[in-house]
A and B are shown apart, each in its own frame.
Chain A
Amino acid sequence: MDLHAFLTKAVSLRFEIAAVILFGIGFMNLMLRHNLIKKIVAFNVMDSSVFLFLASQGYIDGRIAPIAREGIVGAEHYVNPIPAGLVLTGIVVSVSVSAFFLALVQRLYKHYHTVDFDEIMIMAKKKVD
């Protein structure tokens, strides 16, 4: 594939490529950061990137939002509504999981007085031994 066709395809697939890059950023920070709060923010970034990928599969050029209007009947005038329904569920589940993670972080801090992951693991092992 020559350069011009490659660039055209890359620009056309901009949302999917952005979703994969964000997923990579979130994944790398989830594994490599020491601070628990940054791990939670990285997890949220990964969640959002997956939603971006899903919802961008439903867009069709030149069509309008899936609210039925007078006189415009037929499936070839509206955007695909199914991925939007899936992502709506996902957004609400994402906030629930974030809230649970943050409550866990609060209890961990109350017990170990630090939010650094390495120190918590070391102290936990010492307490068990």
Chain B
Amino acid sequence: MSKKTDALRRFSGWVNGETAGHAAVRREAARIEHKKLLPELDEQQRIRLFSWQYKLVALVVCLTVVAVLLYTVFHLPLFGDPENPAVNEVVQRYVEDGLEETGAVNMVAGMILDYRAFDTFGESSVLFLAVTSVMMLLLRDARNIVRDEDVQEEHERVIERQTSDIILQKVTSLVMPCIMMFGAYVVLNGHISPGGGFSGGAVMGAGLILLGASFGIDKVRAFFTMKTFRRITSTALLCYAASKAYSFFTGANGLETGIPLGTPGAIFSSGLILVLDICVGLVVACTMYGFYVLFSRGEI
């Protein structure tokens, strides 16, 4: 009984952000040491005077910007007006010829994955770049591991393995298959119903995060390692680039693509949009889970 309450007290301490005793003391000492670097009293007064001027200038600039924008907004055409200048012949072409040319029932998906697929490629690259930058900042390797942080990580892992939350695990084991199935459904039906690659990928990524948070990251690492992550993201982006390069090549030279458009409303329709949806969905799911595990543990 006392062992259980002891483990429970350590677990609640970990949730509240308290750490092992000596590490917290050392952190406080480091913080006090750093506070000694703050300047003396008259220099603090000089900084406070400067901050008063900075606040005034910032307030004036912000109010000017908001006033100019409000004045401009009142000259806009009314909301929901069909004679809006934003509704021009581009919208006519996308909505009326979209179904025949792309075969997608969802016009937004047909637009971002067929007419304007290059922008979506740029956006997938931004996601990939973001996870690479976060890896550069937070990945722990032999050169930047500090001794008490390592001890603290081991401590947290031991606590995580010992005190597991039964309600969370039971509910996760019931709900997780539904979440992954819903995410896969939204990705695969991106051209028929609302959704698409990004929405489905975010839902799948959130499902993986739930699995990692309730069962522990070591359980997820059984099937999702760094090698898997690298292979999936690189392959998905290259596959996207190859498909769109093929489309550009045949379109620019006036050739036929050779990929059938199928009947609108079926899953295997609309040419390459299904492949592109799957690629984007995989990149987004891996990126979201990669963010979570880099923030929590420091290694994928």
Contacts and interface: CB of A to CB of B under 8 A. Distances in A.
Contacts of B196: 88
Interface residues of A, number: 60
Contacts of B74: 9-10, 13
B112 A85 contact: yes
Given A60-B87, A102-B295, A106-B138, A74 B119 contact: no
Given A66-B95, A80-B86, A96-B127, A12 B79 contact: yes
Interface in B81-120: 81-82, 84, 86-87, 90-92, 94-96, 98-99, 105-108, 111-112, 116, 119-120
Given A85-B116, A92-B198, A118-B51, A16 B79 contact: yes
Interface string A70-102: 000111101011111100110111001101101
A123 B34 contact: yes
Nearest to A82: B91
Interface majority SS on B: helix, strand, loop or mixed? helix
A88 B198 contact: yes
A113 interface: yes
A15 interface: yes
A41 B134 CA distance: 19
Interface majority SS on A: helix, strand, loop or mixed? helix
Given A92-B198, A107-B138, A20 B99 contact: no
Contact of A27 (B65, B105, B264): B65
A9 B78 contact: yes
A14 to B, nearest CB: 7
Size category of the binding interface on chain B:
35 or more
A113 B34 contact: yes
A60 B133 contact: no
A3 interface: no
B168 interface: no
A81 B78 contact: no
Give 5 nearest A-B pairs by CB, closest first. A96-B130, A61-B80, A24-B66, A66-B107, A75-B95
29 contacts: A12-B80, A20-B66, A21-B66, A24-B62, A28-B62, A31-B62, A60-B80, A60-B84, A61-B80, A65-B194, A67-B194, A68-B105, A75-B91, A75-B95, A75-B96, A76-B82, A80-B87, A81-B107, A81-B111, A82-B91, A82-B111, A88-B198, A89-B119, A96-B130, A103-B133, A103-B295, A104-B137, A107-B137, A126-B37
Given A66-B107, A122-B37, 13 more contacts: A16-B76, A20-B73, A32-B59, A59-B80, A61-B80, A61-B81, A66-B108, A68-B106, A80-B86, A81-B111, A93-B123, A106-B137, A106-B295
